[in-house]
Structure 1
Amino acid sequence: MVIGYARVSTRDQNLDLQISALEKAGCEKIYQEKISGATKNRPELDSMIAQFRQGDVLVVWKLDRLGRSLKHIIELVIDLNSKGVTIKGLTDGVDTSTPNGRLFLNIMASLAEYERELIKERTKAGLSEARARGRLGGRPKGFKEDTIRKLLIMRSVYKDPNKTPEELYVGLGLTRATFYRYAKILDKHTDQEIRDMAIKKK
């Protein structure tokens, strides 16, 4: 099945040019969307992707209609190709069923892999630098002074049978989830142990 996807960024823009070109290209069904490419959730695009089957052909006016960024476009095209879907861009000459199209796809895959390796290298370099300066990745172990103060105040009231949990956590300025997280800490540690877990200032 030949399926088209047309998108413009705002409701003021017109889809007619894209739709006309997709119809001439033989599209049996055309998904249409008026939404910014930067928007993460695009219902029509998601619906189209979900119904693709091996042997289907996706036709777009231009590949940039598909993605939020070059990275997203590359990932989407590679993923669809792996499922046996051919991708054609009418104005940029992309056709993944041809030798040139497959070469283009391989270049895109190489670029995606190169970007992943760059991210890994930057992450490793950042961690190495942090270790060299005496800092490790992740959240610091222990509690901030404000957290310790709230824990110690909560110690005297959190098991009060005359108050509901809501009265307690609202009175302490905590969320429900934080209140129960603090309660678990109090059940496991004494006041002195909690004080000893203060994050040391550098």
Structure 2
Amino acid sequence: MTAPRTRRPARSTDAPLRALGYVRVSTDGQVDSGAGLDAQRAALTAEAARQGFEVEIVTDAGLSAATLNRPALAEALDRLDRGEADVLIASKLDRVSRSVRDFAGLLDRAQRNGWRIVLLDLGDTSTPAGEMTANIIASAAQYERRLIGQRTREGLAAKRAQGVRLGRPGGIPADVLRRIVEAHDGGATLVAIATALTADGVPTARGGARWYPSTVRAALGSQDAAALRASA
């Protein structure tokens, strides 16, 4: 069902456009180093200055772009719909979405509610040429990602069938991994598990102080977690 069009509040034509600069990284290493986030912030701030935007940076750290279900992005989209900002700006298409369907929905949402999406690697997607280019790039990226995923799954399955242990040693103590598995199997969300581990001061596999949903997901997908469930 299509969401109703939002009526945007009137603004002076002389006022600068208000931009929400969206930055995202998906791995704990990128979050801890800050390199990926800092580079994106710098690029967006520079582009906003060039175009005369008033910019506010919003951040999703340690979250993938597989879906649009990310706190900072969801809030930014709601603010854009309400007319509290005029432009969503990001450094690359894959910072916002890796799904053709989701991105097409975003383009439609922006058009219906009177805001724009500007991607530094593609330009202004509000123009017909920009929209076409963005959709082509998104389609190609999704196709390539699915091919890589299929080949990876087939290769991993073959190695597992040969009894090969895959990846690095887990690095998570058995009692912590058991806690994660039991909490998840009991219905706890990834966010709830990560929050509880961080609050209890449990270090991550790399010795970090903060757990993220992606960290918990990786632990649940490990061979150690599979073995733990099998032995239960």
Q: Give the shorter-chain TM-score range.
A: 0.3 to 0.5
The normalised TM-score by structure 2 is: 0.41
For CA contacts below 8 A with separation 6 or more, give which structure has more relative contact order: 2
Q: Which has the larger radius of gyration?
A: 1
TM-score after normalising by structure 1: 0.46
